[in-house]
Amino acid sequence: MRLVTLVLLLLAFPAASPAQRLAPSPTEPPASALVGRERIRLDDGWRFALGHASDFARDFNHGTSYFSYLAKTGYGDGPASPSFDDRTWRDVRIPHDWGVELPFDPRGQASHGYKPLGRGFPETSLGWYRRTFHIPESDLGRRIRIEFDGVYRAARVFVNGFFVGEEPSGYLPVSYDVSEYLNYGGDNLVAVRVDATMPEGWYYEGAGIYRHAWLSKTSPLHVRRHGTWVRSEPNEDHSLAELRIQNTVTNAGRTPAAFTVGLAVFGPGAVPGRDAPLVELATTPSEPIAPGAERIEETSLTLRDPRLWDVVSPELYTLVTTILMGDREVDRTETRFGIRSIRFDPDRGFFLNGRHVLLKGTNNHQDHAGVGVAVPDALQEFRLRRLMEMGANTYRTAHHPPTPELLEACDRLGILVVNENRLMGVNDYHLGQLERLILRDRNHPSVILWSIGNEEWAIEGNIKGARITVPMQDFVHRIDPTRPVSAAISGGWGGISREIEVPGVNYVRQADVDRQHREFPWQAIVGTEETTTQGTRGIYFDDRERAHLSPQEDGSSGGNAESGLRFYAERPFAAGVIYWTGFDYRGEPTPFGWPAIGTQFGILDTCGFPKDGFHYLRAWWTDEPVLHVFPHWNWPGREGTPIEVRVHSNHDEVELLHNGTSLGRQSVRRLHHLKWTVPYAPGRLEARGFRDGRQVATTIVETTGEPTAVALVPDRTTIAADGRDVAVFTVEARDAAGRLVPTAALRVAFAVSGPGRVIGVGNGDPSCHEPDVFFASVRGEKLGTWQAPDASIREGALSFEATFDRPTLTDGEHVTLLLAALGPAQTVTLNDTVLHHHAAPAALRAPVSLDLAALRPTGNTIRIEAPARYTDWGARETLFQIHPAVLRFSRPAPQWTRSTFNGLAQVIVQSTGEPGTITLHATSPDASAAESSITAR
């Protein structure tokens, strides 16, 4: 047994190369370790494959080795092993959501959008990601971390076969120090096993590495991750602002380290390194910090005439923190922050910088048409700008921590954020997640409330809810005493609501808001969820069979957007109202089941196309003139049928005309709509808006012809040529007169030329089962059988031989031959053709394209011969996992297609990284083609 164990150990542990060996312990870190901080994005170069949540064999035999990764360090097996062969896996970029790629399945959970994810679908609920990255030898001595902004969910991470950690949450960032596991001067492997079997929420949550990943490098002495906090306190007349700055410095080295902290504050619009700072100072040299210790360095400074962060002028400053050892800069961080004051008044609502601001908000999940939860950064801003057009100034991150990029966009745009925790509780699991959320996000001036929970029905109305609330609220205050704490309550009043500072009201039909204000006068109140005018975009008569819903006067949670807005407008003590929801989202198809796969609560649909309620809120949430008429006027077969025509407007009066005949002029009541009953006849509706008795606006709705053309309208004409930026194209079905046809269902195909790629399509139909994503497929076929040579072989010859028939390919399929190395110099022959002669292993990495016409119908022979000479035992390990010869079959992605829904669809086009002109082409069998171009710079 001892001999067997020794052989296994020799095989598993390669001899260290010079670059991998541990250098003698220095008294100080090597100079190479004292270079500045680097943060490298790891979005490209991943390979992906579905594993299996219950079948070990179909999960690539992960966790089946004699020693598991939990039994012995460094024994990651299956895809966790560096020697695993992933050449037949798909190439993907992250952010990536494999859930959105799956077909809809009526057996799936309605709440998760009928995707085959969860316990009933082990074959599609677990996925693997692998990526290699190079670490130069000069990085030896630095601290190097792998970081993930979010992986859904239960992400098990391995680096070079070493298990480095597992994160159960699908919403929180995680960081692993991998410095000791790396090959310095060589390639390294990170493998991530993602298990989406167990959901966290009750809505579509996706699956995969759906946020960014990073490689972070620092010197041993550095500012801890999320270790900088800037608190700003402007004085009453805003002539001064005191900044209280904390930097948590950690010494991950092996010797005590003396250091100095340098601080520089740059004003709005200034660029560190190019412009001069407003304030620059260095603290006095500190006492040495012990190895493994942390210390909080605090500094206060005063800024004169600060430019405040506000919803109307979101001014952002930048703090640059440097850590110096003597005269040498060993770390440098940049922290964006805003200077502002917030206050929730129990009787008068919310105040920003001393000015009353009404919270006008929406709740939102994080998915979008076409891309699921893998939302590109630019698409985050696109969504926020759509909400701002409606007049919204507040965003509640329902019901989980948001992406960092969402908060950065809210900071830039001036949007207030209710930042929400996922799950209430008082144990390390709960408080640890809450702490990570706050430490990550407390520098964002947009964040005005920490929400510790949402609709916790088991506890919200009883003493346990009150007991849990108190320590959670105290815990938040210890980390961040500058913001109040909220929790959203739905029906269960008398528990959490007795203790929380700012109770959130989820639906006025389920609360007695006046009683709460009367009995707890010290509390501020905000409407955290209120019913919208629930319905399907462009639908005005219920179609239950297709799960299409007309605008609801009494939505699923009671009422509609108008009744909710009027309720809160009558209560000045309330800080404002946040509607459920801004955008439609996948899952929760209330009040339907299959075939509906998405909700209809949104003020906008999943693409961001407005419903009529959007214009109601725009009328009362903005100062822009609004005159919106609905429904459309295409009703063949309903001639003579009375149709209710409504108008959302903020003018004094509105007159409606039908085919030139006036139907009367009505006064506009604040926070209400207007309506006329009109017997349907094709033609023209015309609304005229009046102010001070004078006509100032006209809106026309006409009966259109049949769709004859496709039009493409990008949201912007220029994007960054960075491989990440996106443009959002609206696809319109138009008639011969160029008018949008509001009932058109055109099948449209798309292609891109130039440095761009389509990454998702949608149309906002909550019952559409067309694919959102079209992707290339790949599969592998091993040639012959492979028996690894006996462990005792030192010298001699190794050989592999296999016969195979000429592959039969389906339309569009391509096949390549993938070879593996048996030894340091090898010869490969295919039939009578020499493919490689005495080749080094690296030469075999390139795929070999096969000329199928030159192959025999049957009996083709591939042979590999090599001497069995190895520089170390580790080089032999590949023989146990990589098959010598594999056929890789690949099929390109099908052509992108989508049908318009009520005349509209959407295409998301992303830069590939090169500058140039990107052109989107659209064709339809029933309409003329179109194209539209943007520029990548």
- What's the CA gap between 51 and 116, in Å, rounded? 14
* Helix (H), strand (E), coil (C) string for 145-186: EEEECCCECCEEEEECCEEEEEECCCCCCEEEECHHHCCCCE
User: In one letter, which amino acid is 163?
Assistant: F
- What's the CA gap between 377 and 586, in Å, rounded? 20
- What's the CA gap between 210 and 204, in Å, rounded? 13
Of the candidates 893, 881, 891, 855, the residue with the CA atom closest to the CA atom of residue 782: 881
Over its C-alpha atoms, the chain yields an Rg (Å, rounded) of 31
Burial (Cβ within 10 Å: 0-12, 13-18, ≥19) of residue 407: buried
Structure tokens at 103: 């077909």
DSSP element (H, E) containing 3: helix 2-12
C-alpha dist (Å) from residue 370 to 363, 367, 384, 918? 20, 9, 17, 19
Q: Is the peptide bond before 589 cis (omega within 30 degrees of 0)?
A: no
- What's the CA gap between 707 and 718, in Å, rounded? 29
What lies within 8 Å, CB to CB, of 328 at 6+ separation is 34
Per DSSP, the three-state class of 207 is coil
Of the candidates 365, 208, 406, 380, the residue with the CA atom closest to the CA atom of residue 726: 380
Of the candidates 699, 694, 698, 690, the residue with the CA atom closest to the CA atom of residue 666: 690
Structure tokens at 519: 């009995």
**Cβ count within 10 A of residue 28:** 13
**Cβ count within 10 A of residue 340:** 23
Structure tokens at 850: 């096969």
* Residue 328 and residue 543 in contact, taking contact as beta carbons nearer than 8 Å: no
- What distance lies between CA 765 and its chain's CA centroid? 22
What φ, ψ does residue 261 adopt, rounded to 5°? -100, 125
- Number of C-alpha atoms within 13 angstroms, CB side, residue 626? 27
Q: Could you tell me where the beta strands, DSSP code E, fall in 15-173?
A: 38-41, 46-50, 90-92, 126-135, 143-148, 155-159, 162-167
User: In one letter, which amino acid is 95?
Assistant: P
- What's the CA gap between 912 and 372, in Å, rounded? 20
- What's the CA gap between 32 and 383, in Å, rounded? 44
Structure tokens at 523: 């509390």
* Residue 340 and residue 374 in contact, taking contact as beta carbons nearer than 8 Å: no
What lies within 8 Å, CB to CB, of 709 at 6+ separation is 733, 734, 735, 736, 738, 927, 928, 930
Active site (catalytic) residues? 455, 529
What lies within 8 Å, CB to CB, of 539 at 6+ separation is 548, 549, 550, 902
Structure tokens at 359: 């919270």
**Which segments of 750-819 does DSSP mark as H helices, in order?**
none
- What distance lies between CA 96 and its chain's CA centroid? 9
**Cβ count within 10 A of residue 625:** 14
